[in-house]
Amino acid sequence: MSTLKGILFSQFVNEGLGRLVEEMQTKYKPKKGRRFSHGNITYEVGRSLLGDENVAIEISSKIPQDDLQTPKEMKTYFSELKKAVSLGKKKPKSVEMENIVWGAKRDSEKERDYVKVIYNYSLDEFYDDKEIQKRQQALDSGTYKEKLPEIPSVFTNQGKLVLQLVGERAQGFGRAHLETLIAANEKVQAKLK
pLDDT digits (tens, 9 = 90+) for 53-62: 899 999 999 9
Residue 170 CA: distances (Å) to CA of 26, 62, 76, 98, 123: 18, 22, 31, 24, 11
Give the pLDDT confidence score for residue 120 in this predicted structure. Answer: 96
Give the pLDDT confidence score for residue 148 in this predicted structure. Answer: 86
Entry pTM: 0.89
Distance in angstroms (rounded) separating the CA atoms of residues 79 and 97 = 10
pLDDT digits (tens, 9 = 90+) for 11-60: 999 999 999 999 999 999 999 999 999 988 999 999 999 988 899 999 99
What are the boundaries of each domain within the chain?
A: 4-192
Query: Residue 4 pLDDT more than 60?
Result: yes
Partners of residue 12 on adjacent β-strands: none
pLDDT digits (tens, 9 = 90+) for 113-156: 889 999 999 999 999 999 999 999 999 998 988 888 888 878 89
Which residue in 82, 90, 158, 87 sits closest to 122, CA to CA? 90
Distance in angstroms (rounded) separating the CA atoms of residues 148 and 24 = 24
Distance in angstroms (rounded) separating the CA atoms of residues 38 and 110 = 20
Which residue in 191, 190, 187, 16 sits closest to 88, CA to CA? 187
Distance in angstroms (rounded) separating the CA atoms of residues 46 and 59 = 6
